Amino acid sequence: MLKMYAQGTRPDGSSVRLVIFGLSYKNLDKLREGRPIKFSGSTCRLDDDIEFLIFAGESEQEMQRKFADLIGPDTEVHIDPKLRD
């Protein structure tokens, strides 16, 4: 997996920070096997208290259903209404 961080300027002059992830075919195979990719923000020049979790599923709705079991009662969540069952 390729991880990059960049800082630049948008065409309107405002500042923008980019975090870029490049997934190899091997990474995609892992995702298809149901094996998520997890890493710390420090690997791409962000704070270490930020963690990324990349996972895949057949559809957005299917992924939302899988993830729902991991959410506790004190977790703040926003789910796009179009993804709700």
* pLDDT tens string 9-52: 999 999 998 889 999 999 999 999 989 999 998 888 888 888 89
**pLDDT of 85:** 63
Q: How many CB atoms lie within 10 A of CB 4?
A: 11
Residue 30 vs residues 61, 62, 63: alpha-carbon distances, Å: 20, 18, 16
22 close to 45: Cβ distance less than 8 angstroms? no
Q: Show the beta-strand stretches assigned E in the chain.
A: 2-9, 15-22, 37-40, 51-54
Please give the single-letter amino acid code of residue 79. Answer: I
Single pTM value for the model: 0.69
